Structure 1
Amino acid sequence: MTAYSVLVPFVPSRPEQMLPFAGLVHWTGAHRLWQGQSLSTESHQGFAYAAGAGFRVPAGLGVTLMPLRHPTEAALQARSLSLMTGEPVLAGYGPGAPGVQQALLGAPYRSPLTAAREYLGAVRAALAGGPEVLDGTYVHQESLLRPVPGPKVELGLGVLRPGMARVAGEVADAAITWLTPARYLREHIVPAVRESAERTGRPAPRVVAMVPLALEAHDRDPVQLALASNRNHLRAAHYRDMLRRGGVDLPDEVPEGTGPPDDNELLQGKALIAGDAFLYGGPDGLRAGLDAYREAGVDEIVLNVTGVARVFGPQAATKELRALLTLLGLAV
């Protein structure tokens, strides 16, 4: 059965901004609370603050940039969060864009797939506290952590294309996607994850889809919402490649992403909506759009209302999420 979760749709600058979203998970049938990578405030600490305020909910980190922390530190942070909240943690990691790798490591990974495979293996080994020494192309790690009983920590891998999906099938507990149309998941990602897991002789990882969406309303411009949610992603070559593989008819010109949207960028936003990468519509339309993800083999759908938060503010985003959870029968 497909689970539905909630993404905090902005980077909190004050810890109390987390609480309405943690409360949604605490008081409804939502499965998990997610945060993405932040370079303003540390996501692990936001979850810990919410737990201290009484909202102990399952946490998802999707996805943390691998170059930011050594695998031992990544394991320590994820395990600490599970112990502080008393709830399971799904910690997702990804190599990030080549520019990020260059800025943090001095050079991009020659093989992001090898780097991801080694990194998740090292985090898993650190969590287990085994004696092995790992000495790979990108990761060196000697055991420092001892195993500690507590809630389960699972490892996810950020996936956009079939190559990384196959790595997820080999080493991850979950393949985590962002902005991926349902048809692309059905035709490319889910089969790659399952086939790779079968070859490796392990259970197939769950597939988690972060789905940007918004309810239709008379005062809303869907293109504005789509761009507010995904403007930066449309500038990234790996996202544009994924979207085109998924049947999104993006214009060739890459948007600059600064200042008011020009005609080209408006066409990019319209393409996201037409290609079902950004879901917009009334209750029946959104329910059908989300059903397509479930039918594609997605195990956990994360409701992403970042566009609503950026255009109308956090309170509107909280209200939107409650309306969506009610639509899905998870809230009243």
Structure 2
Amino acid sequence: MTRDHLLPTTTEVMVRIGVTLNEHDGPDALSRLTEDLQRAHDDGIASVWMSHIFGMDALTALAVAAGRVPDVEVGTAVVPIFTRHPVALAQQARTAALAAGPGRLTLGIGLSHRVIVEDLLGCSFERPLRHMDEYLSVLLPLLDEGAASFSGATVRTQVRLTTPGNGRLPVLLGALGPRMLTLAAERTEGTVLWMTGPITVRDHVVPTLAAAAQAAGRPAPRVVCVLPVGVTDDSDGAYTRAAMAFRTYGSLPSYRAMIDREGVAGPADLAVIGDEDAVGTKLDEFVKAGVTDFVAVEFLTGADAVRTRSFLGSLAT
């Protein structure tokens, strides 16, 4: 089972601290990834998340690493759905959950972006909200019960899996807009966010989720907020580095909408940067906004990377 290391704040609300895993090159990439997960475990980090873009398959990589390192929750943030049939994803996720152990894997899924799905991969990006809703109508019963029978406009399936189960496998949606957030609250455990600041979480994400969950008679959703974090005395240098590292996200429409809603110029303005006091104060804004998990993308190097992890570990433990 996962550990529940939490961040106590001035609001007397507890938030779990997580980090993302960076991919490695070369034939020892999985071994190095496992070492990174072990380090997170040793530092007291509660959860570790991995994106799925054009590198290693996130579920496979997490299954290997989690099978060797105990306790820490592992999650995908996020697996895109348009390139995977829900039956295939359910089989893979149930298998990965077996490798990780009971209660350790969280499956984050999302739509990706039209420019990636259509322009780069040559797949259709039509009716994304409808497709996600129908996708869940197959994926969720397969994860929970191993069987699904559904006929919709974008997904049609009648199948029973023999893949072994390993307890409840929670699902989160990469949701930003109001309709997708509503879907996340109505049908899944919550949302995993990227490029979303505390004002937007407070005024848009949490109220939308809460209202939809209440109307559906469901528990309060989980809100996993992922953002770049750098603890440093060179805030200007870190800002410049963040502007370069995360500039692409400012041109993707869904993230651009969140950046504009927050009232900032670009992705670097959402990075949590400064010394320990400044970063702690900023994290407290997210707690007050209603996040349940704060996940750091550690983007600095050298002594500042060590300092950032040390601070995150101190919060987690």
Secondary structure of the residue aligned to 1:113 is helix
Q: 1:134 to 1:187 in 2, by over 3 A?
A: same
**TM-score (ref. length: structure 1):** 0.83
Partner of 1:262: none
Partner of 2:315: 328
Code of the residue aligned with 2:313 in structure 1: it is T
Partner of 2:278: 285
Partner of 1:3: 16
Q: 1:328 to 1:131 in 2, by over 3 A?
A: closer
Task: Supply the distance in 1 between the matched residues of 2:156 and 2:71 (Cα, whole angstroms).
Answer: 34
| 2:27 is equivalent to residue 15 of structure 1 | no
Q: How does 1:54-73 map to 2 (within 5 A)?
A: 54-55=69-70, 57-73=72-88
Q: Is 1:67–1:104's contact at 8 Å kept on the other side of the alignment?
A: no
Task: Supply the distance in 2 between the matched residues of 1:36 and 1:127 (Cα, whole angstroms).
Answer: 21
Code of the residue aligned with 2:255 in structure 1: it is Y
Secondary structure of the residue aligned to 1:134 is strand
Identity among equivalent pairs (%): 26
Task: Supply the distance in 2 between the matched residues of 1:173 and 1:82 (Cα, whole angstroms).
Answer: 17
How many residues are aligned here? 299
Code of the residue aligned with 1:50 in structure 2: it is A
Task: Supply the distance in 2 between the matched residues of 1:148 and 1:238 (Cα, whole angstroms).
Answer: 36
Q: Is 1:212–1:279's contact at 8 Å kept on the other side of the alignment?
A: yes
Secondary structure of the residue aligned to 1:221 is helix
Partner of 2:125: 108
Q: How does 1:37-186 map to 2 (within 5 A)?
A: 37-55=52-70, 57-87=72-102, 88-102=104-118, 103-104=120-121, 106-109=123-126, 111-129=127-145, 131-146=147-162, 148-186=164-202
Secondary structure of the residue aligned to 1:143 is strand
Q: 1:131 to 1:329 in 2, by over 3 A?
A: closer
Partner of 1:240: 256
Q: Is 2:45–2:316's contact at 8 Å kept on the other side of the alignment?
A: no
Q: Is 1:32–1:59's contact at 8 Å kept on the other side of the alignment?
A: yes
Q: 1:203 to 1:35 in 2, by over 3 A?
A: same
Q: Is 1:210–1:301's contact at 8 Å kept on the other side of the alignment?
A: yes
Q: 1:21 to 1:228 in 2, by over 3 A?
A: farther
RMSD over aligned CA atoms reads 2.2
Q: Is 1:72–1:122's contact at 8 Å kept on the other side of the alignment?
A: yes
> What is the CA-CA distance between 1:117 and the residue it aligns to?
1.6
> What is the CA-CA distance between 1:20 and the residue it aligns to?
3.4
Partner of 1:257: none
Structure 1 gap ranges (5+): 251-267
Deviation digits for residues 11-53 of structure 1 (CA, Å, limit 9, x no counterpart): 2331122133211332233211110113221112222222344
Q: Is 2:230–2:308's contact at 8 Å kept on the other side of the alignment?
A: no
Q: How does 1:239-318 map to 2 (within 5 A)?
A: 239-248=255-264, 250=265, 268=266, 272-273=268-269, 277-305=270-298, 307-308=299-300, 312=301, 317=305
Task: Supply the distance in 1 between the matched residues of 2:168 and 2:44 (Cα, whole angstroms).
Answer: 20
Q: 1:52 to 1:326 in 2, by over 3 A?
A: closer
Q: Is 1:21–1:33's contact at 8 Å kept on the other side of the alignment?
A: no
Task: Supply the distance in 1 between the matched residues of 2:183 and 2:66 (Cα, whole angstroms).
Answer: 33
Code of the residue aligned with 2:100 in structure 1: it is T
Code of the residue aligned with 1:206 in structure 2: it is R
Task: Supply the distance in 2 between the matched residues of 1:27 and 1:192 (Cα, whole angstroms).
Answer: 36
| 2:201 is equivalent to residue 195 of structure 1 | no
> What is the CA-CA distance between 1:326 and the residue it aligns to?
3.5
Deviation digits for residues 180-211 of structure 1 (CA, Å, limit 9, x no counterpart): 00110000011101111111222232111002
Q: 1:287 to 1:171 in 2, by over 3 A?
A: same
Task: Supply the distance in 2 between the matched residues of 1:321 and 1:215 (Cα, whole angstroms).
Answer: 5
**TM-score (ref. length: structure 2):** 0.86
Q: Is 1:67–1:95's contact at 8 Å kept on the other side of the alignment?
A: yes
Task: Supply the distance in 1 between the matched residues of 2:234 and 2:271 (Cα, whole angstroms).
Answer: 18
- Greater Cα shift, 130-139 or 237-246: 130-139
Code of the residue aligned with 1:301 in structure 2: it is F
Q: Is 1:190–1:296's contact at 8 Å kept on the other side of the alignment?
A: yes
